[in-house]
Structure 1
Amino acid sequence: MTADLTASTSATWPARLVRPQMGWVTLIAGLLFAAVLLMAALGGLIAPHDAAAQDLLRGATGPSAGHILGTDELGRDIFSRLIVGARTAVLGPLVIAVATTTLSTVLGLLAGYLGGWTDGVVGRLTDIVYALPPLLVAIVVVGILGGGLPLGVLVLVVLNIPAGYRSMRAATLEQRSLPYIETAKVLGEPKWRIMWHHVLPNVRPILYTTFFLSFTYGFVDLSTLSFLGLGVSPGTPDWGRMAAESRVLIFQNPWAVIAPLAMIVIAAVSANLVGQGLDRRTAGRNR
């Protein structure tokens, strides 16, 4: 009996130790992500200087009392541009996340529950799109057609749908074979009601995962486009664009490059960790 108690204790204490740690990680990531969203929402209201104001006589300088992250080659305040640039950096990925989650959920539910030709047609189309590398395709399309950020967002929405679709379809197929679905059918409930009122609430973890992963990938991809000069227009405060334009200042004022790159990493990693945390928490409750 003692051996059983020891084995049981040794099996459970790591889980008890890990859960609080993972909870703290998710909490910290959530606070960081909320701070990024707050920065994007308030923007110029909390910036200490006009993000577009230039001081050519000052030029690029290091951190000082009046400019805590220094200035760029045009004398613009780095910290103010970092705050204002959050809106441009975050808005596109949010659109990608919302659109991708919505479309992949609808397609996954329809294909997984209805099956037949619906599943076949949607499956073939998503297989084709899934084989395309999103960032490379976005670079080629935006580079050839122009269009900047809006076109980049549209391309990335389309190319990110297959991953979420596959997860939603698999979860829907699993739910479709459960007894409660058969009961709903026997009671005469229409297919649309079964999908939206019975299946969808039981696959919510997929929504969280799809949303935050789409935000993360969209954020990194759009930042890369801006870094390459294919996203926002020149001079627009944007973290990717700021890092690209300030590369020449790496030795004169390293913060001009480090600060926007650090914000990109913080936003992407925190969004990913929040998504994973919500996924585990919701999946655990469903069990």
Structure 2
Amino acid sequence: MSPWKDAWNNFRKNKTALVGLCIVLFFILLAIFSPIIAPQGINEQDLSKRLQAPSADHWFGTDDFGRDILSRVIHGARISLWVGFFAVVGSATVGSLLGIIAGYYGRWVDTIISRMFDIMLAFPSILLAIAVVAALGPSLRNALIAIAIINIPNFGRLIRSRVLSVKQEEYVMAARAIGMSDMRILFSHVLPNSMAPIIVQGTLAIATAIIEAAALGFLGLGAQPPEPEWGKMLSDARTFMLQAPWTMIFPGLAIMLTVLGFNLMGDGMRDALDPKMKN
């Protein structure tokens, strides 16, 4: 049995992880088919129906412009998952590359890269993201870039520690002995044997990225009107929190469930890919 098939067999035995996987798949399908599923247009306004409570016509109620909250929450899944996925792909790519170089070559290269990671980690992540977006300008794209930047050290330090262990293995030493180039060793031997922690960290990082995107949207630094981003929806609804609590409840639930799904799935993947967790 291949290691990945073995990991899948271990994963599916974890009921909690399967619940997380189902939640994630639900929101992914929601994002893919949002134009079909959404009952109304995301920007269709009817001021005569503003701040209506949930009903048969509007299952999640309406906002202060009379827009259907259910439709906006459904479309918001596409935005949040898009930001979370591509921000993590960017940070994992750059962080893993820097971590591999630092761990494999060591010495002054490792010192410079590690100190750079330490400096970035010295700042609270959300404050660093705010600083990046403030420098680039508020927009969804710039929020994605900011989230990718602040997560680079997490992947870099993780892969560095893994490379420090892998490069001492006999097959890596044998590859050096026969004259294999450093690039070929890194991408043929070191990186493939360091993928498991990257996958687990990436899954958990998507949940963090969704929260960070919502936080930037709440502060007005992420998605701009009329984009139906969940954090922005929470920000717009805070004025009507007591008058129309449903305007905050449903976007908040969407964030909570999505993050919960990725966290449960990430924990299950960690247990499935960690040899120490196997019976």
**TM-score above 0.5:** yes
CA separation of 1:32 and 1:280: change in aligned 2, threshold 3 A: same
Q: Which residue number in structure 1 is paired with residue 67 of structure 2?
A: 76
- The reply on whether 1:43 has 2:39 as its aligned counterpart is no
* Separation in structure 2 between the aligned mates of residue 187 and residue 276 of structure 1, nearest angstrom: 40
How far off is 1:145 after superposition? 4.9
Native 8 Å contact 1:139 1:230 kept in 2? yes
Native 8 Å contact 2:11 2:17 kept in 1? no
Q: Which residue number in structure 2 is paired with residue 157 of structure 1?
A: 148
Native 8 Å contact 1:93 1:215 kept in 2? yes
* Separation in structure 2 between the aligned mates of residue 145 and residue 200 of structure 1, nearest angstrom: 33
Identical positions, percent:
33
* Separation in structure 2 between the aligned mates of residue 70 and residue 156 of structure 1, nearest angstrom: 31
Q: Residues 1-287 of structure 1 correspond to what in structure 2 (within 5 A)?
A: 23-143=14-134, 145-284=136-275
CA separation of 1:141 and 1:181: change in aligned 2, threshold 3 A: closer
SS at match of 2:208: helix
* Separation in structure 2 between the aligned mates of residue 95 and residue 84 of structure 1, nearest angstrom: 17
SS at match of 1:246: helix
SS at match of 1:50: coil
Tell me the alpha carbon deviations over residues 149-173 of structure 1, each in whole angstroms, 9 at most, x when there is no partner: 2222222212211111111000100
CA separation of 1:281 and 1:21: change in aligned 2, threshold 3 A: closer
* Separation in structure 1 between the aligned mates of residue 217 and residue 104 of structure 2, nearest angstrom: 40
Q: Letter of the aligned partner of 2:194 in structure 1?
A: V
Aligned residues: CA RMSD:
2.1
Q: Letter of the aligned partner of 1:27 in structure 2?
A: L
Native 8 Å contact 2:60 2:69 kept in 1? yes
Q: Which residue number in structure 2 is paired with residue 11 of structure 1?
A: none
How far off is 1:148 after superposition? 2.1
The normalised TM-score by structure 2 is 0.89
* Separation in structure 2 between the aligned mates of residue 223 and residue 236 of structure 1, nearest angstrom: 12
CA separation of 1:142 and 1:105: change in aligned 2, threshold 3 A: closer
Of 240-249 and 218-227, deviating more is 240-249
The normalised TM-score by structure 1 is 0.87
Q: Kindly tell me the number of residue pairs found equivalent between the two proteins.
A: 269
Native 8 Å contact 1:61 1:252 kept in 2? no
SS at match of 1:51: coil
How far off is 1:264 after superposition? 0.7
* Separation in structure 2 between the aligned mates of residue 167 and residue 125 of structure 1, nearest angstrom: 14
Tell me the alpha carbon deviations over residues 50-70 of structure 1, each in whole angstroms, 9 at most, x when there is no partner: 111111111111111111111
Instruction: Give 4+ residue runs of structure 1 displaced > 6 Å after superposition.
Output: 19-22
* Separation in structure 2 between the aligned mates of residue 132 and residue 254 of structure 1, nearest angstrom: 34
Tell me the alpha carbon deviations over residues 172-193 of structure 1, each in whole angstroms, 9 at most, x when there is no partner: 0011112222222223222222
* Separation in structure 2 between the aligned mates of residue 22 and residue 73 of structure 1, nearest angstrom: 46
* Separation in structure 2 between the aligned mates of residue 263 and residue 115 of structure 1, nearest angstrom: 44
SS at match of 1:57: helix
Q: Letter of the aligned partner of 1:153 in structure 2?
A: L
CA separation of 1:20 and 1:128: change in aligned 2, threshold 3 A: closer
CA separation of 1:113 and 1:144: change in aligned 2, threshold 3 A: closer
- Structure 2 stretches lacking a partner, 5+ long: 1-9
Native 8 Å contact 1:100 1:214 kept in 2? no
* Separation in structure 1 between the aligned mates of residue 233 and residue 84 of structure 2, nearest angstrom: 17
Native 8 Å contact 1:72 1:249 kept in 2? no
